[in-house]
Structure 1
Amino acid sequence: MSVFTRSRKSALAGVVALAGASALVLAGCAGGGTGGGETSAPPTEERDLTLKIGTILPQTGNLSFLGPPEEAGVGLAAADVNEASGDTGLTIDDIVWGDSGDTDNKAYATTIQTLISEGVSAAIGAASSGVTKLFLDDAVASGMIVFSPANTSLDFTSWDDDGLYWRTAPSDTLQGEVLGNVVAEDGHENVAVLYLNDSYGTGLNAVFQETFTGAGGTIVEEQSYNTGDTSFDAQISALMASNPDAIVLITFDEIFTIGPALLSAGYPADQLYLVDGNLKNFGADAKWPADISMEGAKGTTPAGPLEADTTFQDRLNEWWTGEGNSELTDFSYANESYDAVVLLALASLAANSTDPADIAGKLQEVSGGSGEGEKCDNYADCAEIILGGGVADYDGFSGPITFDENGDPTQATVGVFEYGADNNFTRIG
């Protein structure tokens, strides 16, 4: 087993890579948002709170495959909060569900105005960093919290957001380092990259390349494309001509065109590396050609701690199918979505308020980011601590979280996955 550590002048404390199982645990990233003001409500005061939240998650667009697990996480968390409402005095009102779409179809433009007019305290979303950037200023101007379970762009760290932007997903600083280390550990030396030319793709690509070249590797070709592009022939030809021993694909749903084209051109699947934007169970998707095998390809994505227990995923499916939906086959960012709702509810409880600024002022505290608090791992137990006059430190399904003053988790886990013969992926670390 090899151990790699790397120090940075930023808030990144380190990256630990366990090469044998490729399990990578990362601590110390920086996020987006600043802590709000304190409220003076006595912690043991009786609560009678109705919290209203909405979603701006991808029901359509190039990240639509992330919508179901994210919405399931939100719905299950709200159900758990409401189940404990008799003891806590806080209820989550009917969720205002909305589509974020993508930067091409622009569904977010209608949704954000709906959420503002509905007066929600917080919007869960978007999944795409590029989409969030297009509505975040409007949300902040309205005084609404924006809490993303999946934004990873480095730009949110320093966004002027009045303390109203938070995220449970780690920044691309973390995933980029993990990806670079995994590709290097697998023995690759000459790598080509194809990336989406937006804040997500360029940021993740930059950190990956810095890490990989720092480990002695060489980038032999770099190609990009824009949202809405449908032909990638020129980029694929350039990648193949560079004769790489691995190709990193930083894309969204364009993988359904790019992946089969590369494999049909004879490129080995076990030399492909994917990321959170395109890591999908292709064997369960009719859009993927049945005769195109991804066996041996690997990918990375933020994920909760590696556990054999599937109880949480079973509960997600029970809630999701109970709403009339087909069973989930992908659970990407479900953990982060669930934790976002629980943290909002705990912060509201701690502030004894549903005002967005008051809630934002308690989010760092209930995550353990204030450096004080009693550990708890579910809403009911954390709420009991708060109502008893204590400080709760919630450790969730996505990890310890522990927000810094910018609203980013300082502890997170990035999982490593590998595709099997069925074109579905299995977590290997």
Structure 2
Amino acid sequence: MNRRMTAAKGIAFAAVLSLGLAACSSDTEPEGESTADEMSDEEMADAEPLTIGTILPVTGTLAFLGPPEIAGVGLAVADINEAGGVLGNDVSVEWGDSGDTTDPSVASSTATDLISNGVSAVIGAASSGVSLSVVDTFAEAEVMQISPANTAADLSGYGDFFARTAPPDTVQGAALGSLILDGGHMDVAMLVQNEAYGTGLRDHTQSAIEAGGGSVVYGATGGGEEFPPGETNFGAQVTAALATEPDAIVIIAFEETVAIVNELVAQGWEFDGTTYFCDGNLSNYGDQFDEGTLAGVQGTLPGAQAEDDFKERLTTWYSENEGGELADFSYSAESYDATMLAALAAVKGGATDGRTIADNIRAVSGSEGGTEVSSFADAVAALEAGEEINYQGMSGTGPLNEANDPSSAFIGIYEYDDSNEYSFVREIEGSIE
């Protein structure tokens, strides 16, 4: 390896480690409703039952993420209700489809339905572009939206009624850029979906590559080479990308990835050690491609590696309630944590309306410090004792900062084998400025 590559690897690694923590917290108590420890049994009995909605992908190019996210919400609600519910009542769920950005009417219709059905909080969307299309609608209705998968930087600090349990692209972009440089690659082509998620992650990945001395030779910011969501024909894009003679290719897309891979195969691209995926397309492809097609492909996924016990519980819930099997667990932990934070915010604030949840969600995530708790029952007990709490979730993220982003998060590194399925390799923890 030459000196330039060695230096690039060191710079990229340092870039990930130096994503300095700059989350700020307030010392003031939220105003409004009585807190849980101040409420009498009679007041708790009078509280409205908490209804949580979902706006998660059942259809569209991100539908493969729907099952693990749905399982995360469902399991969290089951755990909450088993522990006594919220303010003396069981939590109920209104399930909804987000679709994708190719048909905005799906998410718009779901948002309208959820609001009319009286939800106080919604979990979703998976797509940043979808969230950007409905976030104002939820905010105007004072419904708290908590995304388990949105990473677009445009959503950081968007407003009081939006939070997320997935880190923004500043963290994943740095990790993905570092991974590429660590592979010895300096001339990188990027096939990028033209919407908030795709271009945002591209921009931050490109910054990390360039900081390490590399360059993006196709698909760079300002090049106008992105493809529209839902594209099915990639002959021209792949031909143009390969004409730049890249030593690595990054694919930032959703379901379009299948067509991209098939075109790359047709044009003779060698995937092993030269190709990189990310959370939007990190999926088990199995026999969708010939055996060994994706062997050696690496990818990144926000979130800590799910524990085996948690995976088993998710699988059981999904089988019993949805009648299917989970193919992977992407964003299941973040969905579980988003649901828990909504419920705990209601408990802390003593009411189940969206404003109360918005006013208390940062505090229960640990922004005020407090007792570390990892179960709903322990969290409620601490709140009823008048303590601040620091919810230690399944996803391993830090407390929400003033932008309602996790103040720290893990990025998992994964690699595909001959069966075109991916497995965990290692993880990097990054903090958010």
Q: What is residue 11 of structure 1 aligned with on the other side?
A: none
Q: Which residue of 302, 314, 321 maps to 2:319?
A: 321
Q: What is residue 54 of structure 2 aligned with on the other side?
A: 55
Q: Bigger CA drift: 400-409 or 187-196?
A: 400-409
TM-score by length of 2: 0.88
Alignment pair present for 1:342 and 2:340: yes
By how many angstroms is 1:354 displaced?
0.5
Q: What is residue 20 of structure 1 aligned with on the other side?
A: none
1:404–1:326 Cα change, 3 Å: same
In the alignment, residue 260 of structure 2 is paired with which amino acid? I
Structure 1 distance, partners of 2:139, 2:128, is 16
By how many angstroms is 1:28 displaced?
3.8
SS in 1 for 2:333: helix
SS in 2 for 1:216: coil
SS in 2 for 1:119: coil
Structure 2 distance, partners of 1:337, 1:426, is 21
In the TM superposition, what are the counterparts of 1:48-127 in structure 2 within 5 Å? 48=45, 49=47, 50-85=49-84, 89-106=87-104, 107-127=106-126
Q: What is residue 297 of structure 1 aligned with on the other side?
A: 297
Structure 1 distance, partners of 2:127, 2:20, is 23
In the alignment, residue 317 of structure 1 is paired with which amino acid? T
Q: What is residue 178 of structure 2 aligned with on the other side?
A: 181
1:333–1:92 Cα change, 3 Å: farther
In the TM superposition, what are the counterparts of 1:255-266 in structure 2 within 5 Å? 255-266=257-268
TM-score by length of 1: 0.89
Q: Deviations over 1:44-74 (max 9, x none)?
A: 2243342111100000011110000000000
Structure 1 distance, partners of 2:362, 2:111, is 25
1:387–1:291 Cα change, 3 Å: same
By how many angstroms is 1:42 displaced?
4.4
Please say if residues 29 and 171 of structure 1, whose CA atoms lie closer than 8 Å, have aligned partners that are also in contact.
Answer: no
By how many angstroms is 1:38 displaced?
2.2
Q: Deviations over 1:108-141 (max 9, x none)?
A: 1110000010110011111000011111111111
1:290–1:30 Cα change, 3 Å: farther
Structure with bigger helix share is 2
Q: Deviations over 1:291-342 (max 9, x none)?
A: 56100000001022x47x4000000000000014221011100000000000
Q: Which residue of 159, 168, 173 maps to 1:171?
A: 168
In the alignment, residue 227 of structure 2 is paired with which amino acid? Y
In the TM superposition, what are the counterparts of 1:134-173 in structure 2 within 5 Å? 134-159=133-158, 161=159, 163-173=160-170
In the alignment, residue 71 of structure 2 is paired with which amino acid? A
Q: What is residue 386 of structure 1 aligned with on the other side?
A: 383
Q: Which residue of 25, 34, 54 maps to 1:41?
A: 34
By how many angstroms is 1:250 displaced?
0.6
In the alignment, residue 185 of structure 1 is paired with which amino acid? D
Q: What is residue 3 of structure 2 aligned with on the other side?
A: none
Q: What is residue 399 of structure 2 aligned with on the other side?
A: 402
In the alignment, residue 124 of structure 1 is paired with which amino acid? I
Structure 2 distance, partners of 1:255, 1:101, is 17
In the alignment, residue 275 of structure 2 is paired with which amino acid? L
Structure 2 distance, partners of 1:295, 1:337, is 29
Q: What is residue 242 of structure 2 aligned with on the other side?
A: 240
1:356–1:194 Cα change, 3 Å: same
Alignment pair present for 1:369 and 2:367: yes
By how many angstroms is 1:204 displaced?
0.7
SS in 1 for 2:16: strand
1:296–1:405 Cα change, 3 Å: same
CA RMSD of aligned residues (A): 2.3
Q: What is residue 420 of structure 1 aligned with on the other side?
A: 417
Please say if residues 397 and 410 of structure 2, whose CA atoms lie closer than 8 Å, have aligned partners that are also in contact.
Answer: no
Structure 1 distance, partners of 2:125, 2:198, is 16
Please say if residues 150 and 169 of structure 1, whose CA atoms lie closer than 8 Å, have aligned partners that are also in contact.
Answer: yes
1:394–1:408 Cα change, 3 Å: same
In the alignment, residue 15 of structure 1 is paired with which amino acid? V
Structure 1 distance, partners of 2:162, 2:209, is 31
Structure 2 distance, partners of 1:398, 1:176, is 19
Please say if residues 151 and 169 of structure 1, whose CA atoms lie closer than 8 Å, have aligned partners that are also in contact.
Answer: yes
SS in 2 for 1:140: helix
Aligned residues: percent identity? 39
In the alignment, residue 83 of structure 2 is paired with which amino acid? A
Q: Which residue of 161, 186, 189 maps to 1:192?
A: 189
SS in 2 for 1:133: helix
In the alignment, residue 293 of structure 1 is paired with which amino acid? T
SS in 2 for 1:99: coil
